A = this chain, B = another copy of it.
């Protein structure tokens, strides 16, 4: 029995897509001039924005720096490739013979790019609402796996870690500040006296420098300091 390959990898998500735009979204540059590169340009931006919206709404108290960190984790190439694999995109890709032989259909970069191109195709064909619905659905389990710890700022995480070990609060001290009023740099120290561990860091405000110093201490502790 001959079973025709399903043409539209998004059918399981209830998204209709066919014709030239679907073919283009699945075509790697090794397979022709009419490939997914322009769509990928657009899809990359769309994914970035829809994930940003999701994070903004889910983590209503997270600072901008934490949102940026979470977004980077969600949309890095390997994360996108994992979603692409869940759609079996490898089976739909149109590759040139060189890429086919060398296993391009398994490569993270090609899988991630194709996913982004498909997102752009859905936007162009169905509009914003459908595109957002699709991206939210595609990233649902990735969002669920996001470490909520990572959304907490560094000072909070350090404080909770020390409390968990029955230790006192870390101490923060201003070491130095320099530069003009509107362009100052602050140097803050963070010390965990009970563990004999301390670090310094700089920032554009006391608060930013404190967070960076706390993050540095967290890294030291994760690497075995104070153990």
Which residues of A approach B to under 8 Å, CB–CB? 29, 37-38, 40-42, 45-46, 48-49, 52-53, 56, 62-64, 67-68, 98-99, 101-104, 107, 120, 123, 128-129, 132, 180-183, 205
Contacts and interface: CB of A to CB of B under 8 A. Distances in A.
Q: Pick from A37, A62, A64, A67 the residue with the most CB of B within 10 Å.
A: A64
B41 A64 contact: yes
Q: Which 9 A-B pairs have the closest CB atoms?
A: A102-B182, A45-B52, A45-B49, A37-B64, A49-B49, A102-B181, A41-B64, A128-B128, A98-B181
A46 B51 CA distance: 11
Nearest to A60: B38
6 contacts: A41-B52, A41-B68, A45-B48, A46-B49, A46-B52, A102-B181
